[in-house]
Chain A
Amino acid sequence: MEYEAVIGLEVHVQIKAESKIFTTCPAGFGYEPNSLTDPVILGLPGALPVMNKKALDGIIKAGLALKCKIPDVCKWDRKNYFYPDSPNNYQITQFDQPICDGGEVEIELPGSTRAVMGDHRTVKLTRIHLENDVGKLSHFSEDSLVDYNRAGTSLMEIVSDPDMSSAEEAFAFLTSIRQTMIYCGISDCDMEKGQMRADANISVRPVGQTELGAKIELKNLNSITGVKNGIDYEIRRQTSELKKGRKIIQATWRWDADHGRTEEMRKKEDAHDYRYFPDPDLMPVMVDDEWKNRLQAEIPELPFEKQRRYVLDYDLPYSITSVLVPDRELSEYFEEAVTQAPKSGQAIGNFIANDLLRELSDAKQSLSDCKVRAAHLLSLVSAIDKGVITKQIAKEVFTEMFNTGELADEVIERKGLKPDFDEDQVKAWCEEAIAENPKPVEDFRSGNEKALNSLKGQVMKKSRGKANPQVVDGMIRDILS
């Protein structure tokens, strides 16, 4: 019997914000432990949460970007459980009236090679809600310490429908969410820093069965590879259990990345009873159209839309778009130049994807510090278009521009890279090359097209790389015909 997996993800994303959700206490990373606290964060007697309206901007934006419905009213509930990282021993969250309903995430599956675009599909979302994050525990041999700096910061939970069927899809889902969040400036989504965390609900059923199998909630998927490997492992495990005729019993499991396996954490009957109830300290939140419209206006073109536009408008190959698009800064850099020379999209894209990124990485520089700006790229592309320099020489010019900040014309002038010969001279070099290389000439005449390259190479050498290869190609063919 064939089996298929059904996967739903719950993705926690920390929202970048200056202050915490339910107090004016500042939020941030890397501060002295317990310095970003106040009576509300520490759960002191008498302290009350008050919603910081600005903290909702991030999640409403996320909801709009992911095509959720934003209901006019949402409310706050308490999720009660004891844990030392939770100062009140309840978390403020949204149980039955979340801020975002439904929604979808466009994902791209891997193509046959890296240069080929993979299939796209949408994964349905159930909801997105906001809750306050907990503190951070550190365990030592005798004691455990807790830092409440993170406590009370905005954490959104994006819950998907059971709408995925493989680890690749789950991975693509996370990647897409991550890019959307980064594009919208909602979160940096660095999984290693805990800014993005995922739990997966995984079940396996015989192909053709409509009813879902018993689900395993898989926790501790703390990295992108953890998500992939953990889900993969769990699907294989459940399938193998079913094939052996065993039953899967609903439970919570965890991914053990060190040993590369999943293990049971707690059975269903040991699950917490969170005793949700509406938080009596907080009023429901009204989200009006003005608020939504203001945030809608702040949502930039999203990555997949941008990628499609690059292919359409600038005829960029997929491999270049998949370098430019994921990095919003890089794509903006590209667009600044390409809007002034829309026909040179490919050339500009190529210089950025190949030469610029190589130079930046060699020089360990960031894009914002880079001396090559739109004007430089434009001057370079124009010099090639006008036939002033060859593409080969352009690479040299690019490196010079990168190092000195000069425009392409200035580099060409200073280094004397303009051709200092006429067409007769090129013709003379062609004739010389033909005379000096009888073997390739013979090969070409007997139908070997490739042999022409060797002759062209000789001419280019004689011109010290300055001759236009297309012109050379034509001349050699003329002479030999």
Chain B
Amino acid sequence: MSQEIFYKTATELSQSLAKKELSSVELTQAIIDRTQAVDDKVGAFNSRDEKDALAQAEASDARRASGDGRGPLDGIPIGIKDVLAVKGQPLTCSSKMLGNFVSPYDATCIQKLKSSGSVLWGRLNMDEFAMGSSTENSATKVCSNPWNLECVPGGSSGGSAAAVSAGQAVVSLGSDTGGSIRQPAAFCGIVGLKPTYGRVSRFGLAAFASSLDQVGPMGRSVEDVAMVLQSISGHDERDSTSFKAEVVDYVAAMEQLKGKKWTLGLPKEYFDLAADTAAIEPVLKAIDFYKSIGCEVKEVSLPHTEYAIATYYVVATAEASSNLARYDGVRYTHRAESYDDHIDLYFKSRAEGFGEEVKRRIMLGTYVLSSGYYDAYYLKAQKVRTMIRGDFMKAFEEVDALIAPTSPIPAFKKGEKSADPLSMYLSDIYTISANLAGIPGMSLPCGFSAEGLPIGLQILGKPFKEEELLSIGQAFESAHDFKNQHPQL
């Protein structure tokens, strides 16, 4: 059975485009049609500009026709999380606060995608200002898991995961501050990669927590993700925290590393924590798979794991409380209709513009930075953070990468956790440490729960060794068929 166009991988589509078996306009139209057919159910898009996407597709076809094709991503529709600035397009961060804001500039990763010829497609739903693990904190609309519409797609990049999973985009960009790419990728049965901190420029990414945020690719296959990562990586003069290093040809590097017998570590603390072993059954099978192909698998210890969530919620909220101060009702944001003075303007505009979770985190962050509490919370959290990174660096002296579940549970029902923020926070236990340590992490589908919900396998790697993660992931992927399994919509 020939697969629907909208479920093909970027790698396959790229070949068809190169061979001129398919035009970018046809592909883009197929994606648009699919989106029109299913997005009422999925809710992956905050907004979409179909005319603009088709115009980009036409330009791509014209380039290919005249022999000026820009490479594998030229003409491939890529969905963009609504947290990245695209010139002339709305940028809402799924918040009422940003209302009708239209970005006057392009994020660096967007500029790079533009020069790779990709078709930038739509603004994808997310938890407000990337704060959340279910996309239930979106002020725009409800986003559902394509595998079970009663379940959440994960978050905060829920729209980016759902859109790829449901065939509404070939690949997408998300952002990951504590697992926001990997966890929704796991929930929606796709591949998501959080690069090393500093690998991809943050310029144009509306900041949640500056020292943790990282833009990354999401797609149906490891190779798709590698292709997009290659296109968006690299040092950027406009982001001081971006790393000065040559961009790796990830696809070629994966080819080179093929068949390598990796030494893989199982973080003891992660598996000890797993309450629901059924939920991580496929992860255990994946471990057996790696053993079966000759990889050495050994237990390692990340002793400070138990402090990761507390540390994260101190560091992330502190930075967020300051980063979100700019949304104040004065310049481009939502402004209350009537107010007495500028203080009242701030109070009312922010009270109306921000959702509950955002307010909760701003308050928490403001508290931990307050004089008298700074040393006990923020400073201590930074010290623990250094120890958490130390745990990983020590483990990487012994192993090439770590294998773990992405999430302790598969996608949960909408509303199930929204009344209990703490249990929601705890579901990020496996992903958060990678952000604190600044290391890369990838989630790829490795099976299904008893209820038929996708389960993610997480691979955590050494800083700036994304090609190793990709190669390890691809070894599993190529021996299984998860990338060709799609939700019934």
User: Which of A's residues lie within 8 Å of B, judged by CB?
Assistant: 39, 42-51, 78, 80, 82-84, 87-90, 144, 146, 273-277, 280-283
Instruction: Name the distance in Å between B340's Cβ and chain A's nearest Cβ.
Output: 13
**Most chain B Cβ neighbours within 10 Å, of A78, A82, A88:** A82
Residues in chain B near residue A47, CB distance under 8 A = 203-204
Give 23 pairs: A residue, B residue, CB < 8 Å, sorted on A.
A42-B332, A44-B103, A44-B105, A44-B332, A45-B85, A45-B98, A46-B107, A47-B203, A47-B204, A48-B203, A50-B240, A83-B342, A84-B330, A90-B322, A90-B325, A273-B370, A274-B371, A275-B366, A275-B369, A277-B369, A281-B207, A282-B240, A283-B241
For chain B, residues 307 to 351, give those with C-beta under 8 angstroms from any C-beta of chain A.
318-319, 321-322, 325-328, 330-332, 342-343, 346
Nearest 3 A/B pairs, CB to CB: A89-B325, A45-B206, A275-B369
Contact, CB under 8 Å: A281 / B374:
no
How far is A42 from B318 in the complex, measured between Cα atoms in Å? 22
Residues on B with C-beta less than 8 A from A44 are: 85, 103-105, 332
Q: Out of B93, B370, B374, which one reaches A45, CB within 8 Å?
A: B93
Smallest CB-CB separation from B330: which chain A residue?
A84
Q: What is the interface of chain B mostly: helix, strand, loop, or mixed?
A: loop
**1/0 per residue B194-216: CB within 8 Å of A?**
00000000111111011100000
Interface SS majority for chain A: loop
The reply to whether A87 and B318 form a contact with Cβ atoms under 8 Å apart is no
- Measured between alpha carbons, how far is A42 from B202 in the docked complex, in Å? 17
Tell me the complex Cα distance, A232–B163, Å: 70
**Cβ-defined contact, A48 with B318, below 8 A:** no
User: Do the beta carbons of B205 and A273 come within 8 Å of each other?
Assistant: no
Q: In the complex the two chains form, is A88's CB within 8 Å of B326's CB?
A: yes
Take A78-B322, A80-B369, A275-B371 as given contacts and tell me if A89 and B328 are in contact as well, using a CB distance cutoff of 8 Å: yes
Residues of B bordering A, CB below 8 Å: 84-85, 91, 93, 98, 101, 103-105, 107, 202-207, 209-211, 237-241, 318-319, 321-322, 325-328, 330-332, 342-343, 346, 366, 369-371, 374, 378
A283–B204 CA distance with the chains assembled, in angstroms: 18
User: When chains A and B are docked, how far (Å) is the Cα of A282 from the Cα of B239?
Assistant: 8
Q: Which residue of A lies closest to B367 (CB)?
A: A275
Q: In whole Å, how far is B176's beta carbon from the nearest beta carbon of chain A?
A: 16
| A48 contacts B322, C-beta separation under 8 Å | no
**Docked complex Cα distance between A32 and B322 (Å):** 30
Nearest B residue to A22, CB-CB = B240
Q: Which residues of B contact A144 (CB under 8 A)?
A: 342
CB distance from A147 to the nearest CB of B (A): 12
B105, A50: Cβ atoms closer than 8 Å: no
Q: Which residues of B contact A42 (CB under 8 A)?
A: 331-332
Bound-state CA distance A51–B317 (Å) is: 25
Chain A residues whose C-beta falls within 8 Å of the C-beta of B378 in the assembled complex = 277
> Are B211 and A280 neighbours in the complex by a CB distance under 8 Å?
yes
A183 to B440, CA, bound (A): 52
Besides A144-B342, A273-B370, A277-B318, 12 more A-B contacts (Cβ < 8 Å) are A42-B331, A43-B326, A44-B104, A47-B203, A50-B239, A82-B325, A82-B328, A84-B330, A146-B330, A273-B371, A277-B369, A282-B240
Complex contact A275–B240 (CB within 8 A): no
| A54 → chain B closest CB, angstroms | 14
- List A contacts of B321 (CB < 8 A): 80, 275
Most buried by B among A51, A273, A277, A283: A277
Query: Do B366 and A46 touch (CB < 8 A)?
Result: no
Which residues of A lie under 8 Å from residue B319 when comparing CB positions?
Answer: 277, 280
A144 nearest CB neighbor, chain B only: B342
